[in-house]
Structure 1
Amino acid sequence: MISVRVPATSANLGPGFDAVGLALSLFMRISLDRSPEPIVEATGDGAELIPKNPDHPAYRAAKFVADFIGEPDINFHLVQENSIPPARGLGGSAAALVGGAVAANDLLGRAMAPEDLLNLVCDLDGHPDNAAPALLGGLIIGTLTPDGIKSVRLEPEDLGAAVVVPDFTVSTSAARHALPGSVPHKDAVFNVGRSGLLLGALATGDYGLLNVAMQDRLHQPYRAHLIPGLEEVIETALASGAYGSSLSGSGPTVIAFAPPEKTQEIAAAMREVFTVRGTEAKAYALEVDLAGARVEPPGEVASRVPEPVA
């Protein structure tokens, strides 16, 4: 059985709407083997929300790989060990797609070239902001084109992430329906300027600019009603020493970037805002994951999964 470790991801990062994603040190494991019939198992965080049939995103991705390399009739036994809270804005579906695709490609002889694998997972997910960093690690700025994904990969240094995950879900469809059909020109200009500043800050390590660079007018104001306490959580993160803070993906998870030694303190302060409002939440102090999806050699000790901040 082939086992693949895949990181969680945080997309959008304020104004980087559907174009920017970052891999984080919170993982799921997808294990795959040939089978006479489809078998799908899931354990861990949110296992009750994960499909146990061929509709599982990792299984679908594995089948796409099999079709691509000319084995359309193969079935798989798939096991997901999950530590990425599902439907929380941490790229769990994209991580599963990536895990299934990488595991199938390895199981079937690595017939797909890396570029084809990247285009496959980004196409299946619909955009590259979660799928590309889950596959490649680091920070990815990318877009889909008729000729495939065009992207740049960066490796931010000395950057930690405080992440708070409230105990409720926000469906992707609900988050998308909250967005207006059009926005004022001045708001679009606001985000374009901050997107450039965001990428410059992350590329150069000038993280003090993130306070301004992670501001947004195109999605967070319209989704705030789905995450009660959002603005207060972000303000608390900044007051506690974070460089910048925003929704992770479409939420409800909130992420804050900070010096690595301050992430536990900031994560705990962010969680307290939800607690006071009567919402349970988990808080994590995470690192940027640079490895991306990784096939684990047989017998290797499994990667440590970060524990929530006490």
Structure 2
Amino acid sequence: MYRGIAVASGEENVINKVIVSVPASTANLGPGFDVFGLALEMRSTYTVEVLSPGEKWSVHFEGMGADVLNEKGFKFVSEVMDYFERAESVHLPPLSINVHTGIPLTRGLGSSASAIVGLLSCFEVMMNTQLDTGKVLKYAIAIEGHPDNVTASLVGGFTIAASDRSEVAYMKVVPQNLKVVVTVPSSFLSTKKARACLPDMYSRRDAVFNIGRASMLSACIFSGNYDLLSFALHDRLHQHYREKLVTGFREVSRAADRAGAYGSFLSGAGPSIAALAEPAKAEKVAKAMQKAMIELDAEAETFVLDISAQGVILQTVEDENA
């Protein structure tokens, strides 16, 4: 089942090429476990083009982690494609899929979420001629398993997302006068391993602690009043348990605080460490965080990133002779 853009009676323009740019994201931001996401201006690009009937579909990666992805990424793409075809009851035509990865893999910056959003967006536009954000978000959450990263990558900004089997809801705001400083270690940390160290049960005291901090963090971001961010970024549900898996978490966090950051947190499941800072102090914070890693003899790279106001950026090419 193939669909195109109806432009007039007896005529049809068929989208035969889709280019989608998707931002990285940092999730949790301390207390907002599996709920908060923040889109970052660090992007991967997905170019999907329809091949001639009978040609075999292909996948090629370049950029960060391309050697690993060209070896193992085919399976991941196939799984996303299979989910989309089942959910939509369609059969995608043969496709050429080229990915330029600008997001470090398995570092807590939403690389898998970005890939899921990018691929689903390409498939959705190619088959249905427009991007249905609600539908893509629902599918992405079903594949990823939690809404934080995929929501931020899809719509941009700071997002609060919640979902169950039948409903997905989110709110978004684009924070102003705020930079995100991220120290990215050279070591990998899988989300599966980082989740395995978390307890199955939490005390009421810790739950209440996180509800208070998450509420305060939301108020700070939505109001633009960042005075209480250092208080609001604290967490008791996941960071304490994951610290042992992340080299330099405490040292880098202390360095960021001393350099004038509003506060710091584990980026997603780690091992990246993020800090929020006012623009005038961001470079100083970055140098302090990088120095802390060097003093630990740990290899890492530190970035000063803008918050991405826009999530998916889409470009299509139509075949007017179809």
Q: Give the TM-score, by structure 2 length.
A: 0.87
1:258 aligns with 2:277: yes
Q: Distance between the aligned counterparts of 1:10 and 1:20, measured in 2?
A: 9
Q: Which runs of 5+ in 1 are unaligned?
A: 299-310
Overall identity of the aligned pairs, in %: 33
1:31 aligns with 2:31: no
- Paired residues of 2:247 and 2:298 also in contact (CA < 8 A): no
- The residue aligned with 2:5 is none
- The residue aligned with 1:289 is 308
1:78 aligns with 2:94: no
- The residue aligned with 1:8 is 24
The 10-residue stretch of structure 1 (167-176 or 65-74) with the greater mean CA deviation from structure 2? 65-74
Candidates 145, 162, 165, aligned match of 2:184: 165
**What secondary structure, in the 3-state scheme, does the structure 2 residue paired with 1:16 have?**
coil
1:183 aligns with 2:183: no
- The residue aligned with 1:200 is 219
1:226 aligns with 2:242: no
- Paired residues of 1:38 and 1:53 also in contact (CA < 8 A): no
Alignment of 1:77-156 (within 5 A): 77-110=96-129, 113-156=132-175
Offset of residue 66 of structure 1 = 4.0
- Paired residues of 2:121 and 2:131 also in contact (CA < 8 A): no
The alignment covers a number of residue pairs equal to: 297
Alignment of 1:232-247 (within 5 A): 232-247=251-266
- Paired residues of 2:30 and 2:266 also in contact (CA < 8 A): yes
Offset of residue 105 of structure 1 = 1.7
Amino acid at match of 1:76: L
The 10-residue stretch of structure 1 (261-270 or 96-105) with the greater mean CA deviation from structure 2? 261-270
Amino acid at match of 1:92: S
Offset of residue 185 of structure 1 = 2.4
Q: Distance between the aligned counterparts of 2:26 and 2:239, measured in 1?
A: 14
Candidates 8, 30, 37, aligned match of 1:21: 37
Offset of residue 76 of structure 1 = 2.1
Amino acid at match of 2:178: L
The 10-residue stretch of structure 1 (239-248 or 145-154) with the greater mean CA deviation from structure 2? 145-154
Q: Distance between the aligned counterparts of 1:190 and 1:68, measured in 2?
A: 39
- Paired residues of 1:166 and 1:282 also in contact (CA < 8 A): yes
Amino acid at match of 2:224: G
The 10-residue stretch of structure 1 (263-272 or 110-119) with the greater mean CA deviation from structure 2? 110-119
Q: Distance between the aligned counterparts of 1:177 and 1:143, measured in 2?
A: 22
Q: Distance between the aligned counterparts of 1:266 and 1:75, measured in 2?
A: 48
**What secondary structure, in the 3-state scheme, does the structure 2 residue paired with 1:238 have?**
helix
- Paired residues of 1:49 and 1:86 also in contact (CA < 8 A): no
Amino acid at match of 2:258: A
